[in-house]
Structure 1
Amino acid sequence: MTHHHRTIIRIGLAAVLAAGAGAAVSGCAHPAVRAPSPVGGGEVISRVDPRAADPLITAALATVYSWNPGTDPDTSAGFIRAAAFLEPAYAREVGVTGSGLASVTTTTWARWTVEHATITATAVITSDDHPADTLAARHRVAAITQHVASSSSSEPDRTLTVYVTAEDTPDGWRVSLIAPR
């Protein structure tokens, strides 16, 4: 399968998930699965069992959406840190354009940088409908909460919802799609 075809398939899947459609939609409720402590890829990765899709998904999302604006050039740094959780072809395709997975203005990023803010994310699998599980793939809807800690200001937690797919690989489950809703 060519890169172009994989991209079209991923875009098509994102559209299906976004529309809430699909040939088989599961109404199953997943227990709330919280990610391990977010920032810092290495220690988080070593605590996640790649044979369990949901914990891997939440850890990946917590890593993707956790940032240190004083040292991170932009939000793509979280995506890059999450590489061990990602299906390699997806990580290569998205790469530094991972900043497109988050809605953060340059003004906000600059303010966070000046304030030495740390953005820590927590991800929870929701009970929203999603395509049925298969042996090779898990589709989930996840709620992400980002807590912004700064010494000079206070702001409310940021929230977003994403559609996410994980594929079973020879190395265990890996995230192959993150699509913000």
Structure 2
Amino acid sequence: MIRIAVILGSTRPGRRGAAVARWIVAEAGRHPDAVAGDVVVEPVDLADFDLPLLDEPSPARFGDYRNPHTRRWSEAVASFDGFVFVTPEYNHSMPAALKNAIDYLCEEWQDKAAGFVGYGADGGVRAIEHLRPVMAELRVADVQAQVTLGLFADFEIESPTDPGRLTPRPHQQEALAGLLDQVIAWSRALAPLRAGRRVAQPASTG
């Protein structure tokens, strides 16, 4: 079975990404491979992990994790075969919370696939463009298909503090279907590479 995580990349109270993540999980549940029981798609909310600014003394590539929050995050990421990142665009890039969470780990990301769903005034396209080279450095196969959601065209928002209601249009439904197809296919294709290595284990705190 292939397991895909929908990673909600903003921790801001009232973030609009929560509605985006729910939409992705609901649409993924109707994917033929999910209906057949061959794929499971689950939400992963960074806010649930409460990660501080990176506080591990050793570089992530050694897998020598000393903190309980790091080990918990490591176990979560290691359990998935692919990812769909949901990211807003903050000042021409991804949120600091998302980059921080990515930097906590190394081998847990490797030889997996990733797709991107961005949202913002310009659809989150620049956040996605910044994520792609980060994924490449971590040996993650980022797929070509992506989804971009505009704050003014794709959300019904009553005030600046209102998270709004997501109203995706038909072409975005089609784009998400294509993204899921690619993430699932590449997650399967990379399975032999994942099987040929052992994910770094957290260091014992004995």
* TM bracket (short chain): 0.3 to 0.5
Q: What TM-score does the superposition give when structure 2 sets the normalisation length?
A: 0.29
Length-normalised TM-score, structure 1: 0.32
